[in-house]
Chains A and B, each alone.
Chain A
């Protein structure tokens, strides 16, 4: 029989048992839809991670304090006291692959302006910090190196802080705010950056010269972190080596001592975060594919029923000239039709879900052609694999017995 006729025949058979066909497809539909949804959520989070990391500066290097004392209670990195301005100066001098460098000393507290107040964190940095972190000044000006030297009480506000301290929309430029007991003059407003993909509000910050924070707020000579940028993205690894060598020297670490600091690049962070999200995606996709297999078994089951039910029809078709292959193809194509129709519905549902999820749950999704193609192929293969045995059984029937089957 010609393929066109076989397809028409299969469609007709499915039309006759619409509900049954739909129920049979359900497994495949759910399987395909969930595979596509899972993969698009995975792909979405992967992309948003890499976007937000590169928006922080893709050649950024972060240096954090770390305990090198084996045993004992280990302390949180930021509360350790190993990084000082001497390290920053040494790095400026001895690390040729480092372009810009800025220390960071941060303090949390209440910012107050008139009757408004807002809990936020103040970050004491060098002017280079803005370039390293890809921040920019929207209004006003940035503090200068002179302000750093003189520990000037000036600051720049992020958008969230502006909104909360100046709720009536007046310009904060030139106003005095208090952080703790210290008054600061607002000299600029930062361009909004929005939420990071860790859910952090990146605009809920105040930045000021690090000297001001160290001397007037923290009364400390230590930094929480040092931010640096490599001259080029591919110079990151060389820069990390230089940082390690320089800091070991300034910290006077013996060869057998561990680092009392840790260095992270964006690339490392990206790999780390991606591997976590990839694993989650793989896991969820594996669970989703189980329902594809179960869907396939459902098809096999219903095809066996169908073959038994239509034994007389098979006998008749054989007696008027259908060859084994004709019967085989008839049932095989029917099974493939079920799985492919289920696949199409599943793809549509999966894509719809991937489009709705960002709006409903605020998770980023990216629909990849790859996931659609792969789940579609899996569908077709499922149809062939699970449809083959029932079809083979049908084609092997003896026409004499099939005709007399009750």
Chain B
């Protein structure tokens, strides 16, 4: 199980803003092994977003190497990057980013549409399987505005799962949800992780980070701390310990 999914060595990313050079990442190095559940934490301005874009193959490092599943991202063209995102990464966004007025099933099918090797039948089967995996049986035809926030995020997770990526990349995936729903999502994430999915979760909430197996702390474009989580919490239990219902 010690196969390295991500290898990041001394990654730097610089932006030119007018005449100034902004160094968002100043040499970040860490590896992620298959089956890990890593949270990346950091306050705003720590380079979290830049790192996330990099990990998601939406951006390329200015310097240093980034190997995703042993592929060097830096050498790839725009189209090759798109292909890599399609086959190796499952994105989960804070704002869900589902297509409006489109059914849950079709939203989940979306990544497979951009994979020419998958036919119509297989696409549908896999989308159904993914929705079942996130416990959304029977809501296939619901459009996003007919679903609650938590349900929408589950659809988004199903969409991230459907192309069987090597890594799920979540960007503040619980940021728009209340505590209970957040825990539900985290419980789902833990379940997926137990079934072998590698998860990289970007958040700024320590509470959420405590559900992961490892935390990488960023500060000013550098890794400040990289710790294994010894007392990892179970989201399921946390959920059970919440008061039954809020009175209002």
Q: Residues of A with Cβ closer than 8 Å to B? A: 1-2, 5, 16, 312-313, 315-326, 399-400, 403
Contact = CB atoms under 8 A, between A and B. Distances in A.
Given A318-B58, A320-B91, A326-B82, 17 more contacts: A2-B113, A16-B101, A316-B99, A320-B86, A320-B110, A320-B111, A320-B114, A321-B82, A321-B163, A322-B86, A322-B114, A323-B82, A323-B114, A324-B78, A324-B79, A403-B93, A403-B97
Nearest to A8: B113
Interface centre among A316, A321, A324 (most CB of B within 10 A): A321
16 contacts: A1-B116, A2-B113, A316-B93, A316-B99, A317-B114, A318-B82, A320-B110, A320-B163, A321-B82, A321-B83, A321-B115, A326-B114, A400-B53, A400-B58, A400-B59, A403-B93
Contact of A320 (B59, B116, B159): B159
B87 interface: yes
Contacts of B58: 318-319, 399-400, 403
A5 B118 CA distance: 12
Contacts of B79: 323-325
Given A323-B78, A323-B79, A324-B78, A317 B85 contact: no
Nearest to A313: B99
Contacts of B61: none
B56 interface: yes
Contact of B114 (A16, A312, A313, A321): A321
A319 B92 CA distance: 10
Nearest to A322: B114
Contacts of B78: 323-324
B53 A317 contact: no
Contacts of B91: 319-320
A319 B91 CA distance: 8
Nearest to A402: B58
Contacts of A326: 82, 114
Nearest to B99: A313
Contacts of A315: 97
A113 to B, nearest CB: 80
Q: What bracket does the count of chain B residues touching chain A fall in?
A: 20 to 34
Contacts of A321: 82-83, 85-87, 111, 114-115, 163
B163 to A, nearest CB: 8
Contacts of B85: 318-321
Contacts of A325: 79
Contacts of B116: 1-2
A5 B113 contact: yes
Interface string B21-65: 000000000000000000000000000000001001011000000
A153 B240 CA distance: 123
A5 B53 CA distance: 28
A397 to B, nearest CB: 11
A316 B91 CA distance: 9
Interface string B73-100: 0000011001101110001010001010
10 residue pairs, one from A and one from B, having the closest CB atoms: A321-B86, A321-B114, A323-B82, A320-B111, A316-B97, A323-B79, A321-B85, A399-B58, A400-B58, A322-B114
Contact of A312 (B83, B97, B101): B97
A404 B93 CA distance: 11
Contacts of A317: 110, 114
A399 B59 CA distance: 9
Contacts of A403: 58, 93, 97
Nearest to A318: B82
A131 to B, nearest CB: 73
Nearest to B90: A320
A5 B109 CA distance: 12
A323 B113 contact: no
B159 to A, nearest CB: 7
Contact of B113 (A1, A16, A319, A324): A1
Contacts of B163: 320-321
A319 B89 CA distance: 9
Contacts of A312: 97
Nearest to B162: A320
A326 B53 CA distance: 21
A319 B56 contact: yes
Contacts of A5: 113
Given A319-B85, A321-B83, A1 B114 contact: yes
Contacts of B97: 312, 315-316, 403
B153 to A, nearest CB: 14
A312 B82 CA distance: 16
Nearest to B88: A321
A322 B111 CA distance: 8
Interface string B110-132: 11011110000000000000000
Interface centre among A315, A317, A318, A319 (most CB of B within 10 A): A319
B184 to A, nearest CB: 23
Given A2-B116, A317-B110, A400-B53, A322 B93 contact: no
Contacts of B53: 400
A319 B82 CA distance: 7
A16 B102 CA distance: 10
A319 B101 CA distance: 20
Interface in B112-169: 113-116, 159, 163
